[in-house]
A and B are shown apart, each in its own frame.
Chain A
């Protein structure tokens, strides 16, 4: 049976493996050009590592150790496989691997970082959105299939199937393993950033389930984005996304109260915001905006908005003027009803709820927001502040029917209860 209380040594081993997983797997995929084989070989190596390191201690260069061991495991697997079914490609890889092993790097030799091409492969637009997210978490984040399945609230076999199908498509469809050439870079980078943001958002605002934040996904998305920022330091949109995540992360603890119910930005305890994260986000976004001037991308604009909220001393002292200007620019790049909805909510604090209600009415007649929970929540809040309490109550009730997140629903129910008491 599995040990239920791992020794401290075992836990350290697990942390080291988790830390090294992405880089090691990236190197292996680069060597064997086959996701499944690389992952199986790494699993084999990890089993040996857990056993050996537990007894003899962690080697000075665990990454080199894992790569070396996994490479041998991959050769074993290929040899076993090719005996029955000799495939030209595999024989070629085997020959290359054998050669590489004979000139193996020494323990302190620097191993080329292969994570950048790998993340572009995992986020290739020929893969389904869900598959990109799962593959990125598995391959670069080192999360287990079970962990990813739990985070996305799907059964483990479903997630396993999704991963297998994605890996098979990479191989069979010939999705390249490389950093995209300059003409493809903007489109492909968009896809990578969207995946990272999706992972972060899934952790930050769970669309379903018990808790509104699933901190582990946020941490993972942040870690992956930090890595990407290091690998491509001259790309201001990566820095923008990083800053956006840092600002959100700084406020995470105060987004819900002790019993897990959402707290509106207005009522959050600003004293508990993580000032170190905010300062870091501020530094990152300033640098990015300088690099991209005069045309910042959408993640930078969102980060700048989030940064103005995070650095305002009080809610009342928020620089709404600047925020509205940023929303205007964001809407030019991303002309979606959701951006307009957020801009209207911000404008209500500058020009009052009545004017905002008019804009909201315009928005809903022009677009299809009638089943979108935040639309009804915003409408309810504006009506409440404008003094139309019966209409506000109706809007809260409608909003409640469009949410399946417990924390969100409790928040809306609490707003509704407060209004009912006031009546």
Chain B
């Protein structure tokens, strides 16, 4: 089963760029991504630009309405994601717990929908 691991965090909790803590955080991501790739369970993933760059789009009555900002204005924002190919939820949780951001943020684990009509 494929799961998306959505990485949420409050930017004020994140290590400040240029500090030693930030260097370690970055390195930990490198290690994590390397381990996930090596395990053969990595099915995708990327980091996102900050929410200040986000644009929300809705179509209402045939009209496209574009607004500045993310869909939900909350403290914890989506900062990146991985897609893992795991045997079950327990395995997906195990990977999620290893994402460095899990130490101060939240990782949401969502199964990807399977359309398997033949």
- Minimum CB–CB distance for B93 against chain A, Å: 8
> Does more than half of chain A's interface fall in helix, strand or loop, or is it mixed?
loop
Q: Which of B86, B87, B89, B117 contacts A126 (CB 8 A)?
A: B89
A88 contacts which chain B residues (CB < 8 A)?
Answer: 116, 118
Is the C-beta of B4 less than 8 angstroms from some C-beta in chain A? no
Tell me whether chain B's interface is mostly helix, strand or loop, or mixed: mixed
Is the CB–CB distance between B89 and A174 below 8 Å? yes
Identify B111's interface contact among A87, A173, A176, A180, CB under 8 A. Answer: A173
Q: How close is B111's CB to chain A, nearest CB, in angstroms? A: 5
The residues of B that contact A175 with a CB separation of less than 8 Å are 88-90
Query: In this assembly, does B107 line the interface, its C-beta being within 8 Å of a C-beta of chain A?
Result: no
Flag if A89 contacts B88 (CB, 8 Å): no
Q: Count A-B pairs with CB separation below 8 Å.
A: 32
Instruction: Write the nearest CB–CB distance from B66 to chain A, whole angstroms.
Output: 32
Closest chain B residue to A89, Cβ basis: B116
Chain A nearest Cβ from B7, distance in angstroms: 18
Contacting residues, chain B, for A173 (C-beta < 8 A):
89, 109, 111
How far apart sit A184 and B88, CA to CA, in the bound complex (Å)?
14
User: A122 CB to closest chain B CB, in angstroms?
Assistant: 14
Q: Which residue in B92, B116, B117 is a CB contact (below 8 Å) of A174?
A: B92
Interface string of B75-118 (1 = CB under 8 A from A): 00000000000111110110000000000000001010000111
A355 contacts the other chain (CB 8 A): no
Residues of B within 8 A of A (CB): 1, 3, 86-90, 92-93, 109, 111, 116-118
A-B contact pairs, 29 of them (CB 8 A): A85-B117, A86-B117, A86-B118, A87-B116, A87-B117, A87-B118, A88-B116, A88-B118, A89-B116, A124-B89, A126-B89, A126-B93, A172-B111, A173-B89, A173-B109, A173-B111, A174-B1, A174-B3, A174-B86, A174-B92, A174-B111, A175-B88, A175-B90, A176-B87, A176-B88, A176-B89, A176-B90, A180-B90, A184-B90
